């Protein structure tokens, strides 16, 4: 569960993208995405329970399609299992590059670095090499090191982010009128184009909100997969449901649409500045970087383990 706890933090860099398209309805979209994730992950949890020796979804696919008597025919189980494994790996791999580049952007903002073009590319490469080397070092010793690192990063990033947002509620920054007045963007008519945009944002949100299924990848590693996998899955899912509703509601209610657009992807920075003063921006950036390291680790371990 601690390895998968990077998933509740995936909303932070993505909340601006969804809010910029559908405004205040992003709160409903984020929450519904996690609820849909429960339906989806029921199947994942059941498959891992039925095939406790299989490694995640690819392992289950291999077990399902492998015939006891091949009679010299092609082993469909190995073919479909391998195809599933590479698809799963491909789905998680962009997380490493996307968030490595985002960390580079946050470092530029944190230290007011005047770099761009190839200089920025060089920074991204250096950050990426450091992160991948760190993840390889942790992962090469098995899941225990990754779980410990996940626990540390979760406490470093998850708890302070909750405190920053709770501070916005306590300090009077949150205003429910921001949600009511900007719930739908101007010109929203519930026409076909608007509905397509809504479902498109749902898909974008689900890329983040349903990713806690990664807890099911480690089926054989659990002492009792039949009991432990559902506990880890739905424990992380409940945390996601709380965090995605709490973060989206608090951020939107505190900043409003104009504030979110002004903040860009760093939506936590102005809130931290309001709550903690000038030092708040550095705190927010530090915690966001820790959160991004946690989700990189989630993707790194999940994708490599399934192969």
**In this predicted model, what pLDDT tens digit does every residue of 205-249 receive, in sequence order?**
988 888 888 887 777 778 887 788 888 888 889 999 999 999 999
Select the highest-mean-pLDDT range: 55-59, 112-116, 131-135. Answer: 131-135
What pLDDT, on the 0 to 100 scale, is given for residue 9? 77
What pLDDT, on the 0 to 100 scale, is given for residue 70? 66
Q: What is the pLDDT of residues 23-49, one digit of tens each?
A: 999 999 999 999 999 888 888 888 888
CB-based contact 143:276 (threshold 8 Å): no
- Higher pLDDT, residue 298 or 191: 191
- What is the chain's length? 307
CA-to-CA dists, residue 109 to 118, 263, 281, angstroms: 17, 12, 10
User: pLDDT-based confidence at 72, cuts 50/70/90?
Assistant: low
DSSP labels, the chain? --GGGGGGGGHHHHHHHHHHHHGGGHHHHHHHHHHHHHHHHHHHHHHHHHSTTS-HHHHHHHHHH--S--TTS--HHHHHHHHHHHHHHHHHHHHHHHHHHHHHHHHHHHTT----THHHHHHHHHHHHHHHHHHHHHHTT-HHHHHHHHHHHHHHHHHHHHHHHHHHHHTT---HHHHHHTSS-TT----HHHHHHHHHHHHHHHHHHTGGGGGGGGGGGSSSHHHHHHHHHHHHHHHHHHHHHHHHHHHHHHHHHHHHHHHTT-THHHHHHHHH-THHHHHHHHHHHHHHHHHHHHHHHHHHHH-
- Does 295 have pLDDT greater than 90? no
- Does 299 have pLDDT greater than 70? yes
- Higher pLDDT, residue 8 or 18: 18
| Domains, the chain | 3-306 (1.20.1740.10)
What pLDDT, on the 0 to 100 scale, is given for residue 109? 73
CA-to-CA dists, residue 81 to 55, 64, 76, 302, angstroms: 10, 9, 8, 16
- Does 143 have pLDDT greater than 70? no
Select the highest-mean-pLDDT range: 6-20, 95-109, 121-135. Answer: 121-135
What pLDDT, on the 0 to 100 scale, is given for residue 285? 77
What pLDDT, on the 0 to 100 scale, is given for residue 145? 66
Q: What is the pLDDT of residues 148-187, one digit of tens each?
A: 777 777 777 788 788 889 999 998 999 999 999 999 999 9
- Higher pLDDT, residue 86 or 9: 86
Question: What mean pLDDT is predicted for residues 266-273?
Answer: 84
What pLDDT, on the 0 to 100 scale, is given for residue 249? 96
What pLDDT, on the 0 to 100 scale, is given for residue 33? 93
pTM of the model as a whole: 0.84
- Does 306 have pLDDT greater than 80? no
What pLDDT, on the 0 to 100 scale, is given for residue 71? 65
């Amino acid at each position: 569960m601690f390895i998968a706890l990077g998933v509740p933090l995936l909303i932070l860099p993505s909340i601006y993208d969804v809010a910029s398209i559908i405004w205040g309805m992003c709160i409903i979209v984020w929450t519904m995405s996690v609820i849909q994730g429960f339906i989806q992950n029921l199947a994942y949890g059941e498959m891992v329970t039925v095939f406790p020796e299989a490694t995640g979804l690819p392992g289950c696919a291999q077990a399902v399609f492998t015939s006891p008597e091949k009679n010299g025919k092609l082993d469909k189980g190995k073919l479909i299992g391998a195809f599933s494994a590479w698809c799963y790996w491909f789905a998680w791999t962009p997380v490493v590059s996307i968030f490595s580049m985002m960390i580079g952007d946050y470092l530029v903002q944190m230290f007011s670095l005047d770099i761009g073009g190839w200089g920025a590319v060089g920074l991204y490469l250096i950050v990426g090499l450091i992160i991948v080397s760190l993840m390889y070092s942790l992962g090469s010793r098995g899941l225990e090191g990754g779980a410990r690192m996940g626990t540390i990063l979760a406490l470093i990033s998850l708890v302070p982010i909750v405190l920053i947002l709770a501070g916005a509620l306590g300090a009077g920054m949150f205003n429910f009128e921001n949600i009511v007045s900007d719930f739908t963007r101007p010109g929203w008519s519930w026409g076909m184009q608007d509905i397509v945009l809504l479902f498109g944002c749902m898909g974008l949100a689900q890329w983040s909100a349903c990713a806690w299924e990664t807890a099911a990848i480690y089926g054989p590693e659990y002492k009792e997969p039949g009991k432990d996998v559902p506990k880890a899955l739905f424990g992380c899912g409940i945390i996601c449901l709380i965090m995605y509703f709490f973060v989206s509601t608090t951020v939107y209610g505190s900043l409003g649409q104009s504030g979110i657009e002004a903040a860009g992807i760093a939506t936590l920075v102005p809130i931290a500045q309001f709550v903690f003063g000038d030092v708040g921006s550095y705190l927010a950036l530090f915690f966001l970087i820790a959160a991004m390291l946690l989700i990189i680790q989630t993707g790194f371990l999940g994708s490599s383990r399934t192969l």
